[in-house]
Chains A and B, each alone.
Chain A
Amino acid sequence: MITVENLTKRYPNKTAIDGVSFQVEKGEILGFLGPNGAGKTTTMRIITGYMPASEGTVRLDGFDVFEKPLEVRRRIGYLPENPPLYLEMSVTGYLRFVSKIKGVPKDKIAAEVNRVMERVNITDVKDRIIAKLSKGYKQRVGLAQALLNDPPVLILDEPTIGLDPKQIQQIRELIKDLAGNHTVVLSTHILPEVEQTCHRVIIIDRGKIVAVDTPQNLRFQLQGAERVFMEIQGPASEIASQLKKTPGVVDVRTLESTDGRHRFQIEGELKKEIRSDLARIVVQNGWGLYELQAATMSLEDIFLKLTTAEEDRE
């Protein structure tokens, strides 16, 4: 549905995205994950045709964004990072206006506005002035706007920001519901969101794609990087320094100590088995080993790992 090739956006003093390529299949939910300033918004803005790329192409349903902008925009519902709301308008008035500029046929506008309001649960505030609404409602009005005219592709920049947990759950359900008939690209820096809603994740950092995979695979792939918890009786600082010397160990952190027993958190290198070596060292030194436990890393840790690894390389 969407093909992005070698997308680059340069500003006079900064490269926002650098050679980004990926594809989104029809009916898929793709999550864009990355820290602030990673290039998520820039990528989305280029896909929606808001800004042109310095290099590279975006094709949506076979149409090039730069050459056929109107064809592309007709097929996209876009929720920018800040919902684009005219604060002085009523919710219905606003949605009617957006329907018009999106080309909803005149006799279908009222029904279409009602449909999206029900979809995102804002019918109760339909006559209120947008400026007077809470942040959660504003966000949902923005989402309603993106759904108008039922576009096959939805680009949602941080769709659940500013919502309370219950609303977040509702919006996530809604997004999952939309998949199948719709292709959804959403960005977020909240990891559980990606794990819950997305079929595929692109992790982006400093304008480059760091990883692309399903949330399950990403986690699996990085389970090779072990995190081990150990509880050992003995001299704390001596133990820590010995553990750190073990080949394959990246980091050792001392957690808490009770009755002369110390808990350590040990990070291993990617795909390296370190548990048996650690156990041997403890035994060789004659310390008491009370516990040795491997922890699986959550996507959150993976995300941090991937993006900080990038930092180390520089």
Chain B
Amino acid sequence: MRNILAIVERELRAYFTSPIAYVILTIFVFLSGLFFRSILTQVLQMGLMSQIQAQQLGPRPMDMPGMITRGFLSTMSVILLFIMPMLTMGLFSEEKKRGTIELLLTSPLTDLEVVLGKFFAGAAFFLILLFTLWIPTGVLYLYSSPASGPILTAYLGLLLYGLALVAIGVFISTLTENQIIAAVLSFGTIMVLWLIDVLANNTESATSKAVLSYLSILSHLDDFMKGVLATSHIIFYLSLMVVSLFLTYRSIDSLRWRG
């Protein structure tokens, strides 16, 4: 455990001594503010519309804070698709390029500790990103009284989804010495997992349709966003994460054999 923490601490320090942490945080917070504002405006317009309709058809209940959170967090999940590869690209590729991997792999650490250390480091930075999303969400609490249950469920979904993305990124970062290649490959992989939905719509066979749409990384997020906590989605993200970490572990092993 101490070993894992040492790696996490070093990695977080590295994030924050290079400009990358600040660039990612700035862009992410800026974009989240931008999208929050535009979604807020949209939902407010919808609210006005429904008020006008209510005069003719009678009042209808409308969960405005819920709609805002849902729209906002769904948008941010797409933004994360683009941001996460930048977070994970250097985790192993830099070690390979600099030769520091030789230090890690000849220290009295197990390979599992190395893999988990890297994963938790990426996860910790992701948590910081996730935390910044509470700034706009907090605004909702200031000016309205939203139901917390659905919002927390949406955040849980986003958390699981983000951790899966980190694990995929960590794995891909073991495959190359080049950060840019790692970033592009991770991005491509995540895009495929996202767009596999579209592919599913075009297939004839029902089975392959079911399989393909099951694999879609964003579709599992929908229920969370609606405030529905379903075990199957939790299992999907957790298994994606575990499989990626297992592949990372195997990849480190093969790195040793190849030298």
Contacts and interface: CB of A to CB of B under 8 A. Distances in A.
A100 B3 contact: yes
Main secondary structure of the interface of B (DSSP, over half): helix
A70 B111 CA distance: 10
Interface in B228-259: 256-259
Interface string A92-114: 01000110111100000000000
A97 B6 contact: yes
Q: Is the interface on chain A under 10, 10 to 19, 20 to 34, or 35 or more residues?
A: 20 to 34
B91 to A, nearest CB: 13
B89 to A, nearest CB: 16
B2 to A, nearest CB: 7
Interface stretch (B62-70, B100-108, B146-154, B182-190): B100-108
A44 B102 CA distance: 12
B106 A76 contact: yes
Contact of A84 (B17, B18, B99, B258): B99
A52 B6 contact: no
A168 interface: no
A73 B107 contact: yes
B102 A50 contact: yes
Contacts of A97: 6, 9-10
A194 to B, nearest CB: 24
A84 B6 contact: no
22 contacts: A45-B102, A45-B259, A49-B105, A49-B106, A50-B259, A51-B256, A51-B257, A51-B259, A52-B257, A70-B110, A73-B107, A74-B108, A80-B106, A84-B98, A84-B99, A86-B14, A86-B100, A88-B14, A89-B10, A93-B13, A100-B6, A101-B7
Interface of A: 11, 42, 45, 48-52, 70, 73-74, 76, 78, 80, 82-89, 93, 97-98, 100-103, 145
